[in-house]
């Protein structure tokens, strides 16, 4: 089974890249299941119901979120209606929506997907992602060994630690949030595919997706500035993971870096 994981979609450039590139990627890599981090899809901050529906129409199977999950208020009701959009599972009990789901591929293979939020250098007060994931994996494993985890976190150490902590217990742990793709993709000793960050899908002539001049001015002046999503040099970043669906063990992980050019 081939699983495509795509990093943070940033604004309209990222949405356009996904729409333009996903069909070819799915065909080229014989993709069976697609997980997309959509937490920056709406103007760089959050996800709207309309955009979520558009992404599902494109062929995405599960959408994950992160620290911007509550930025677009109309999403809260949709999170309760459609459990293929998942928010971080380690938010306190009572938060809208769910933090994990189990979906089937076209061939009927069950895949569990979990979304988690890191605690190091992050603004939300959430429960321990390590303990939360242990509990969730025990539930998912009753139905399938195929488990993909999107760990939305700032600190590389926290991501690496979770990878080793869950080695052999999940199929893959992919990091998101920093918008910079890392070059440390590997299959760990007990069959868990790992990468510290998928990178972003959006404008790269920018500072992590935002207009670079505004960000530079903020650093230089130390004054608050309103951010705007940049427009140029759009790319899509992610990974392809080959998983043995019978065991849930990963065989291979490969980075994806695709340029998107508007005709």
Burial class (CB in 10 A: 0-12, 13-18, 19+), 21: buried
From the list 209, 206, 152, the residue with the least C-alpha distance to 9 is 209
35's tokens: 């997980």
Active-site residue (options: 43, 68, 83, 177): 68
Distance in angstroms (rounded) separating the CA atoms of residues 41 and 252: 28
Cα 35 from Cα 109, distance rounded (Å): 15
Residue 25 contacts residue 256 (beta carbons within 8 Å): yes
68 annotated active-site: yes
Place of tokens 């998928």: 198
Distance CA 6, CA 59 (A): 13
Residues designated catalytic: 68
């Amino acid at each position: 089974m081939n699983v495509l994981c795509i990093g943070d979609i940033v604004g309209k450039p990222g949405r356009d890249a996904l729409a333009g590139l996903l069909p070819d990627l799915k065909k080229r890599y014989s993709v069976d299941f697609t997980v997309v981090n959509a937490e920056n899809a709406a103007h760089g901050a959050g996800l709207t119901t309309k955009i979520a529906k558009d992404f599902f129409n494109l062929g995405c199977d599960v959408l994950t979120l992160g620290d911007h999950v509550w930025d677009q208020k109309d999403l809260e009701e949709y999170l309760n209606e459609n459990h293929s959009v998942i928010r971080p599972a380690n938010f306190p009990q009572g938060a809208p929506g769910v933090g994990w789901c189990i979906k089937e591929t076209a061939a009927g293979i069950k895949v569990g997907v979990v979304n988690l939020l890191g605690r190091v250098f992050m603004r939300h007060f959430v429960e321990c992602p390590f303990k939360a994931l242990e509990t969730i994996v025990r539930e998912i494993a009753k139905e399938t060994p195929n488990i993909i985890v999107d760990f939305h976190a700032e600190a590389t150490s926290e991501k690496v630690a979770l990878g080793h902590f869950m080695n052999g217990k999940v199929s893959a742990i992919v990091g998101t949030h920093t918008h910079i793709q890392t070059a440390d993709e590997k299959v760990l000793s007990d069959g868990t595919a790992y990468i510290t960050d998928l990178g972003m899908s959006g404008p790269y002539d920018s500072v992590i997706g935002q207009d670079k001049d505004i960000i530079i001015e903020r650093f230089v002046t130390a004054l608050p500035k309103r951010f705007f999503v940049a427009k140029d040099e759009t790319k899509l970043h992610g990974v392809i993971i080959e998983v043995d669906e019978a065991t849930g063990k990963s065989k291979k992980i490969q980075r994806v870096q695709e340029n998107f050019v508007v005709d």
